[in-house]
Amino acid sequence: MSRVLVTGAAGFIGSHVVDRLLAAGREVIGVDSFTGYYSRDRKLRNLEPALGSDGFRLIERDLLDLDLRSLLAEVDAVVHLAAEPGVRRSWGGEFDVYLERNVRVTQRLLEAAGEDGDARFVYASSSSVYGPDGGRPVREEATLRPASPYGLTKLAAEELVALYGRERGVPATVLRYFTVYGPRQRPEMALSRFIRAAIGGREVRVFGDGEQVREMTFVADAVGATLAALDAPPGGTYNVGGGVRASVNQLLDCVRRTLGIPVEAVYTPAVEGDVRSTWADSGRAARDLGYRPSVTLEEGISAQAEWALRESLATSIA
């Protein structure tokens, strides 16, 4: 396998996947339309290391407008990360955007992959397909009952991946990431907001009582699972969790300790569709992909805080 197409290449997880593929000696074509979900400058900074590499080509276009068949003819594998993320904004009038970017884009890519023949396809899904976890670690065969429109579009895309696998022979793997964090994390995610507030000396808004618990996955671990999936036999669906869980209040405490800055929390109403707990059983990924998450929460939050400090310096100088 020599050349990989990464969709959503300028995003949080996508830019790390690109960096790791380049470091492994693979050529990468990255596609990103720089949607307005968060700032273009942030995404360009995510891509800085890759843009200096001969093995990387960026195509700045919407996947809905590209000739995907020609593009897929150039690659041996696709890592499909492009999406409209976020539970909160998926309610109400924005749902069309979620359908376009999460469902229609995936269908177009799968059509092209089905015509092209044998490109390996890895789809980035989400723990949001499960809904409430019943207070136990979830396995992949659990009932899927998304608690948000976002989760529903991720599930619809998973079903498309399964359909094109069965009917058109697309050799695909589905990864269900559980809350991913680390350097370049999306700015609206809780940990990002907490760290920025601490650096800026501001209070933070916590949705609900802050006792909702998340399985936290450091981005390097999620990326490791993604590269392993490219090389493993296709057909599987895998949970990718970090093996550590923390409540939102515990995350905030860890930020206070790491940065040594007191941050005041203001509690606001819970977000609809925000489940009380996420908890991954990643045993199948361990068995089939050799997945072993290795970064502790303290190490991961320190790495994200260091990056955020560099970011705030870079953007205040710019």
Question: What are the catalytic residues?
Answer: 150
> CB count, 10 Å around CB of 203?
10
Nearer to ligand NAD, 53 or 107 (CB): 107
Residue least distant from ligand NAD (Cβ):
11
Please identify which residue in 5, 72, 109, 124 interacts with ligand NAD, judged by CB under 6 A.
124
C-beta of residue 109 within 8 angstroms of C-beta of residue 63: yes
Spatial distance between the Cα atoms of 44 and 39, rounded to a whole number of angstroms? 9
- Residues belonging to the chain: 318
* 33 near ligand NAD, rule: CB under 6 A: yes
Using CB under 6 A, which residues numbered 208 to 227 contact ligand NAD? none
CA atoms within 13 A on the CB side of 18: 32
* 31 near ligand NAD, rule: CB under 6 A: yes
Nearer to ligand NAD, 105 or 252 (CB): 105
* 95 near ligand NAD, rule: CB under 6 A: no
Nearer to ligand NAD, 43 or 193 (CB): 43
C-beta of residue 284 within 8 angstroms of C-beta of residue 232: no
* 62 near ligand NAD, rule: CB under 6 A: yes
* 35 near ligand NAD, rule: CB under 6 A: yes
Q: How far is the CB of 286 from ligand NAD (least distance, A)?
A: 19
The torsion angles phi and psi of 232, rounded to 5 degrees, stand at -90, 160
Nearer to ligand NAD, 126 or 237 (CB): 126
Q: Does residue 225 sit in helix, strand or coil? A: helix
Q: How far is the CB of 239 from ligand NAD (least distance, A)?
A: 11
Torsional class of 260: left (φ above 0), alpha (ψ -120 to 50), beta (otherwise): left
Strands of the chain, DSSP E: 3-7, 27-31, 56-59, 77-80, 120-126, 172-177, 180-181, 204-207, 213-218, 237-240, 244-247, 265-268
* 126 near ligand NAD, rule: CB under 6 A: yes
Binding site for ligand NAD (CB under 6 A): 8, 10-14, 31-35, 37, 43, 62-64, 81-83, 85, 101, 105, 124, 126, 154, 177, 179-180, 186
